[in-house]
Chains A and B, each alone.
Chain A
Amino acid sequence: MRYPFVTGGSDFIQGDEAIARAAIMAGCRFYAGYPITPASEIFEAMALYLPLVDGVSIQMEDEIGSIAAIIGASWAGAKAMTATSGPGFSLMQENLGYAVMTETPIVVVNMQRGGPSTGQPTLPAQGDMMQAIWGTHGDHMLIVLVPSTVQEAFDFTVRAFNLAEKYRTPVVVLGDAEIAHMRERVNIPEPEEIEVVNRKLPRTPEEERMPFGDPDGDGVPPMPIFGRGYRTYVTGLTHDEFGHPKTVDREIHERLIKRIFRKILDNKADIISYHEYELEDAEVAIVATGIVSRSAMRAVKMLRERGLKIGLLKLDTIWPFDFDMMKKLAERVHRIYVPEMNLGQLYHLVKEGAEGLAEVTLIDKIGGEVHTPGEIVERIERGERR
């Protein structure tokens, strides 16, 4: 397999470009999108590369059509992605729920910008975290990854495809305008160095008949592909293991939805990824994700130099959320600071996890600027002097 970009070396590229290249190396061969700042460069890169690797890149009439097209593509057997920002992500929510309900592996990238509404199109924000987790209606479960560097934008996109295929679920890559447009050095592995996971296919006639069964007990049904003779019926209605609509049966609805939850929650250890810095002896902790975690890391170094025993827990995955880990952290420290580029979203998850064992303090900032390390230091010093 030949790629129309550097592999097995480093390149100096934007986050958007890194996401596109990672998608192609993870096996993505279908992209549907609609132009939007700051995610358009993902589409432009896919439009440049996909035809050369016999993939399809198509501009749809809106973001609703974009996510619809990638779900269709996935059922036809392709790994598929779309990318957008806040307004488009809002439009995608209904079909994101359809992907959850029909257990369709897709990757949806949301490069967050200031909102609500048209907001600050060119500036970064983290205001869509709750939307990424809870944006579509009904009880649902999906995976949300948050990159903090251009390298992570690459790595997490590969991971997003693998998780989507492994757990037959939509995965959201939640970046921001800063990651989208910032250029950094990225190490792009050789193709054979990249782990690529492919979905389970039906292995027996029994499994062919049950596209929503659980033959392996892991909650993940093998996925039939259209056009291969399985004659699969897929619906967003509540359905039984055979895919037949069963819309007024309480037990079937509960069994379906709980399995969709279980397949993710029972595999939290595999899905959740995080990094700890200087937490061993910490009395105070910062919990951060995405671009802000870089300022937070610097703030930890500055505060350590000033004698404060502080560490950072950087979350790569914000959903599923490891509430137990947060409780354990809260048992070890007396206060947890949560810097984020919104008026408090991750903060609520951390607070729920901490169960009152440590005080949780929000360091909010909106308006399109990332917290500087100095701002985080100042807020923490003020807080610790109290």
Chain B
Amino acid sequence: MNFKSAYKIRDRYLRKDMLPTIFCPGCGIGSVLQFTLRAIDDLKLNQDEIVWVSGIGCSSRVPGFVNFDGLHTTHGRALAFATGIKMVNPDLKIIAFMGDGDTAAIGGNHFIHAIRRNLDVTVILINNFTYGMTGGQVAPTTLKGLRGTTAPYGQFENPFDIAELAVAAGANYVARWTVFNYIQGINSIKKALQKEGFTLVEFLSPCPVSFGRRNRMKTAPEILKWYQKITVPINRARKMSQEELEGKVVIGEFVDRDRPGLVRAYMEYVERAKRIAGW
């Protein structure tokens, strides 16, 4: 990995006329965006062969700040839009920049089906345990007992583990880190970007304004310290019991495999179709 100055990354990849970003002080989205841009830069990927797709939410505003083709779509639907782009032009690399509510609540169905199909896309997922843009409502990822404006006395539902969900649905690559895991995060994104099929890199990302404030963590450092408390590296987690893992979030690489992606599967289908039809 090279350690190019952040200014160089900014000047090369961000749209100056769209800055400043909408992100609040202490928000982690900018960090994850930097990881992603550094991964692209390290891999020397062609900027004109990448399309950024997103739904609705804070993290979904990212495609507007980067100097690439970008489609900022409707809430939860990014991966369905991405399906059309990728299948029409398989040469394009698709990065879906998504939030936890966008992905796992309103977009849950598109998410699991995009994975089932093994759509060739890299999902960069911002998990801040909350709906930041709308002011701090609970999300399907909110851990039990944490507060949001729509569960002001503490979340009473079970959370989704998005990474585990992606593994179960059949993703080729799944990793989860916190924004604290700079090197691992960039390396995972690099890996994800080079693989066929569905790849997901999830980041626990602080939202002090909408989430932390309501959970006695008013600043990003407090949230990062909390991450240190609740996260467990995957190797250690494998030796822990279900009870010990209660309320914890596992980080690390969950899966790395090479099932054929949707594009390849469809290309083979077209050949079969022509053979059967005698075309």
The docked-state distance in angstroms from the alpha carbon of A71 to that of B73 is 10
Q: In residues 54-74 of chain B, which contact A (Cβ within 8 Å)?
A: 61, 63-64, 67-74
**Nearest A residue to B106, CB-CB:** A64
Question: Which candidate, A6-14, A226-234, A325-333, is the interface stretch facing chain B?
Answer: A226-234
CB distance from B17 to the nearest CB of A (A): 7
Task: Tell me whether A94 and B74 are in contact (CB under 8 A).
Answer: yes
User: Is B82 an interface position by the 8 A CB rule?
Assistant: yes
- Chain B residues close to A by CB (< 8 Å): 15, 17-18, 47-49, 51, 53, 61, 63-64, 67-74, 77, 80-89, 91-92, 109-110, 113, 266, 269-270, 273-274, 277, 279
* Residues of A in contact, count (CB < 8 Å): 45
Are A226 and B83 within 8 A (Cβ)?
A: no
Q: Say how far A179's CB is from chain B's closest CB, in angstroms.
A: 27
Task: Please report whether the interface of chain A is mostly helix, strand, loop or mixed according to DSSP.
Answer: mixed
Specify the chain B residue showing the minimal Cβ separation from A242: B17
Which of B64, B77, B81 contacts A245, CB < 8 Å?
B64
Name the contact of B81 in the complex, choosing from A68, A77, A229 (C-beta under 8 A): A68
A226 touching B73 by the CB < 8 A rule? Answer: no
A61 and chain B: residue at smallest CB distance: B113
| Nearest CB on A from B99, distance (A) | 16
Q: For the complex, what is the distance from the CA of A98 to the CA of B75, rounded to whole Å?
A: 11
Known: A64-B77, A68-B77, A236-B73. A76 touches B89 (CB 8 A): yes
Top 5 A-B pairs ranked by shortest CB distance? A72-B84, A73-B84, A68-B80, A76-B88, A65-B80
A286 an interface residue at 8 Å Cβ cutoff? no
* Interface membership of A142, Cβ < 8 A: no
A30 at the interface (CB under 8 A from B): yes
Q: Please determine whether B68 and A231 come into contact, CB atoms closer than 8 angstroms.
A: yes
> Do A4 and B279 have beta carbons less than 8 Å apart?
yes
Query: Please, could you name 5 A-B residue pairs with CB atoms under 8 Å apart, sorted by A?
Result: A4-B277, A65-B80, A72-B82, A72-B85, A227-B92
How far, in whole Å, are A66 and B109 apart by their CA atoms in the complex? 13
* Least distance between A102 CB and chain B CB atoms (Å): 8
User: A51-59, A127-135, A270-278, A369-377: which lies at the B interface?
Assistant: A51-59
Shortest Cβ gap from B83 to chain A (Å): 5
Contact of A64 among B53, B61, B64, B80 (CB under 8 A): B80
For residue A72, which residues in chain B have a CB less than 8 angstroms away from its CB? 53, 71, 80-86, 88
Is the pair B51, A226 in contact by a Cβ cutoff of 8 Å?
A: yes
With contact pairs A227-B51, A234-B70 given, residues A65 and B89 touching in the complex (Cβ less than 8 Å)? no
Which residue of A is nearest B84, CB measured?
A: A72
Query: Which of B70, B77, B82, B270 is within 8 Å of A233, CB to CB?
Result: B70
Give the residues in chain A near B86, CB-CB below 8 Å: 72, 76
Are B89 and A95 closer than 8 Å at their CB atoms? no
Whether A236 touches B74, Cβ cut-off 8 Å, given contacts A61-B113, A227-B48, is yes
Contacts A51-B270, A233-B63; is A65 near B77 (CB within 8 Å)?
A: yes
| Contact (A95, B69) CB under 8 Å given A61-B109, A68-B84, A77-B89 | no
A244 touches B17 (CB 8 A): yes
- Chain A neighbourhood of B73, CB < 8 A: 68, 71, 95, 98, 236
A201 within 8 Å of B (CB atoms): no
A60 within 8 A of B: yes
Q: In the docked arrangement, what's the CA distance between A226 and B47, Å?
A: 11
Q: In angstroms, how far is the closest chain A Cβ from the Cβ of B253?
A: 27
Assembled-state Cα–Cα distance A237/B72 (Å): 8
Do B270 and A54 have beta carbons less than 8 Å apart? yes
A177 within 8 A of B: no
Contact mask A219-241 → B, CB, 8 Å, 1/0?
00000001111111111110000
| B113 A73 Cβ-Cβ under 8 A | no
What's the least CB distance linking A94 to chain B, in Å? 6
